[in-house]
């Protein structure tokens, strides 16, 4: 029986893969209660408060423009409303991204420290039972002090 070079390479790579996989341990999963992090983390609460303040200021500016220009045409008022909505959506998106990036950075650090392969969000509303998973919520809140 004569094996071609291609077959030998395939066989060797298959054996290497099996050897590599046998060294792999059990997958380590962590979970986080995202709503608790949002409520209890001072850094996240500060970002939320700043975002809410900026959004309120934007809304007040639009209302002030309407008060200052009582003779504003329907078309201009509608344009102001659309522009304000766009600004509010942009602010909301910007602050949401900031929060996500901050939490993701902390989660990556904690996952590396605890040697976790994955971390899932298990909020109170959408409780997910994971046998043997590690709760990293307190560690995230602690790092976001």
Question: What domains does the chain contain, in order, with CATH numbers?
Answer: 27-143 (3.30.910.20)
Residue 113 pLDDT grade (very low, low, confident, very high; cuts 50, 70, 90): very high
Residue 20 has a pLDDT of 45
Distance CA 145, CA 43 (A): 6
Q: pLDDT tens digits for 8-47?
A: 445 555 544 444 444 456 788 888 888 888 899 999 999 9
Q: What's the Rg (C-alpha) of the chain?
A: 26
Distance CA 122, CA 30 (A): 10
Residue 15 has a pLDDT of 47
Please give the structure tokens belonging to residue 62.
Answer: 């639009």
Give me the residues paired with residue 32 across strands: 121
Average pLDDT over residues 82-102: 95
Average pLDDT over residues 110-126: 81
Distance CA 30, CA 117 (A): 8
Residue 126 pLDDT grade (very low, low, confident, very high; cuts 50, 70, 90): low
Residue 6 pLDDT grade (very low, low, confident, very high; cuts 50, 70, 90): low
Residue 8 has a pLDDT of 47
Q: pLDDT tens digits for 40-91?
A: 999 999 999 999 999 999 999 999 999 998 888 999 989 999 999 999 999 9
Residue 79 has a pLDDT of 94
Residue 127 has a pLDDT of 59
């Amino acid at each position: 029986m004569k094996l071609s070079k291609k077959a030998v390479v395939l066989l060797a790579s298959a054996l290497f893969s099996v050897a590599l996989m046998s060294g792999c341990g059990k997958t380590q999963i962590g979970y986080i209660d995202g709503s608790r992090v949002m409520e209890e983390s001072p850094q996240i609460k500060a970002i939320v408060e700043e975002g809410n303040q900026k959004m309120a200021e934007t809304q007040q500016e639009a209302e002030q423009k309407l008060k200052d220009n009582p003779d504003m045409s329907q078309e201009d008022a509608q344009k102001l409303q659309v522009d304000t909505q766009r600004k509010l959506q942009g602010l909301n998106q910007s602050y949401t991204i900031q929060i996500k990036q901050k939490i993701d950075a902390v989660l990556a650090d904690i996952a590396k420290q605890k040697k976790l392969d994955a971390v899932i969000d298990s909020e109170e509303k959408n409780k997910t039972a994971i046998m043997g998973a590690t709760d990293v919520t307190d560690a995230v809140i602690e790092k976001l002090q």
